[in-house]
Chains A and B, each alone.
Chain A
Amino acid sequence: TAGITQAPTSQILAAGRSMTLRCTQDMRHNAMYWYRQDLGLGLRLIHYSNTAGTTGKGEVPDGYSVSRANTDDFPLTLASAVPSQTSVYFCASSALGYTDTQYFGPGTRLTVL
């Protein structure tokens, strides 16, 4: 089974441009999450979704938006990228809620110039 896939693997983006990071899971998990990982800051939650049709803000939501039209997909959109959004982005899912085991995708390395 694929588990969680993310695309693209890496991307260089000009500041001011928009971009959507894709995340798909095939485990029929209810909950999905987007994190960013930065050196010295660890893993921080951007947005989450407890079930299809609902989303919520995490610790660092500014500049990002998400949607959850169905169970499998949870895209993250940067409307107008800024250099501070340079990071590694991880999508994750869990069968039940946030206290459950989370399964992570391989990550997207984004550089905003």
Chain B
Amino acid sequence: SQQGEEDPQALSIQEGENATMNCSYKTSINNLQWYRQNSGRGLVHLILIRSNEREKHSGRLRVTLDTSKKSSSLLITASRAADTASYFCATDDSGGSNYKLTFGKGTLLTVNP
């Protein structure tokens, strides 16, 4: 089963609205990362939050991490059409495999102009 799973699978909003995506994972982690992928392109790193952090901001992005619930959320405020992309969370496994990140299947965000 997936270490990180995003929810919802797809999200459609209007420009200017906020978008919230969630990620759940199963094991203890060192870090959790969020990436964006535009159609047909490689993944682009957005933000990394460490297991001892609860919230992190970067521009219009806000990430929260709740290690007790093994979940994270990514909030994009004042969305723009250019934010249309797939968003992935990625986790390591601090207690087990020590060589890889595990990526979720992603949330497809569509921002309508």
Interface status of B33 (Cβ within 8 A of chain A): yes
Q: List 14 A-B contacts (CB under 8 A).
A: A42-B103, A42-B105, A42-B106, A43-B43, A43-B88, A45-B101, A48-B99, A48-B100, A102-B45, A102-B90, A102-B101, A104-B43, A105-B42, A106-B41
Main secondary structure of the interface of B (DSSP, over half): loop
- Assuming the contacts A42-B106, A43-B88, asked whether A101 and B33 have C-beta atoms less than 8 A apart, the reply is yes
Give me 9 other A-B pairs in contact (C-beta within 8 A), A4-B42, A45-B101 excluded.
A42-B2, A42-B88, A43-B103, A48-B99, A98-B98, A101-B45, A101-B48, A103-B45, A105-B42
A73 to chain B, nearest CB (A): 18
User: In residues 38-57 of chain A, which contact B (Cβ within 8 Å)?
Assistant: 40-43, 45, 48, 50, 56
Tell me which of B35, B99, B104 has the highest count of chain A C-beta atoms within 10 A of its own C-beta.
B99
In the complex, what residues of A have CB within 8 A of residue B88's CB?
A: 42-43
Interface status of A59 (Cβ within 8 A of chain B): yes
In the complex, what residues of A have CB within 8 A of residue B90's CB?
A: 102
The proximity string for B residues 23-66 relative to A, scoring 1 for CB distances below 8 Å and 0 otherwise, is 00000001101010000111111001000000000000000000
A interface residue count range (under 10 / 10 to 19 / 20 to 34 / 35 or more) = 20 to 34
Tell me which of A41, A42, A48 has the highest count of chain B C-beta atoms within 10 A of its own C-beta.
A42
| Cα–Cα, bound, A91→B56 (Å) | 27
In the complex, what residues of B have CB within 8 A of residue A103's CB?
A: 45
| Cα–Cα, bound, A59→B31 (Å) | 20
In the complex, what residues of B have CB within 8 A of residue A40's CB?
A: 105
| Cα–Cα, bound, A50→B88 (Å) | 23
